[in-house]
Amino acid sequence: MAKLKIVKIGDSTLRKCCRPVDKITPRTLTLLDDMVETMRAANGCGLAAPQVGILRRIVVIEVKEGEVIELINPKIIAYSGEQTGEEGCLSVPGRAGIVTRPMHVTVRALNRHGETVDYTGSELLARAFCHELDHLDGKLYIDVASEMLD
């Protein structure tokens, strides 16, 4: 495994739409592993492939230690409720903002074995799903923040 470089705001990669993963290859699996290592080393709870300069629809999330969620080609299929709270981003260091997101979110994606899986999360996990999937479409939390706290 390798720690990857996290691209920062201002890098055009963060504003581009990612391509779907057509085939899960050994390279895809290495990327998933490297993204988890990178996210943990940066003390984050989520990381999307464009944040490490790769325009593919891949996300890793770990809001509970040891419970990594790997999402390939994820889509939000259901959401409900509302929560407003503070968000930050590994690609926007030193800043935070207030963002309103759904309270409950269900995501459908492929796992590392190519199987379709659904994950439902509330509170922080729901927020992480929305935040990380936004990255896949070139959106940052600062685009939807009602207030910046810096």
Q: What positions carry a catalytic annotation?
A: 132
Q: Length of the chain, please?
A: 150
Q: How many CB atoms lie under 10 A from the CB of residue 80?
A: 11
CB distance 4 to 38 below 8 Å: yes
CB distance 55 to 90 below 8 Å: no
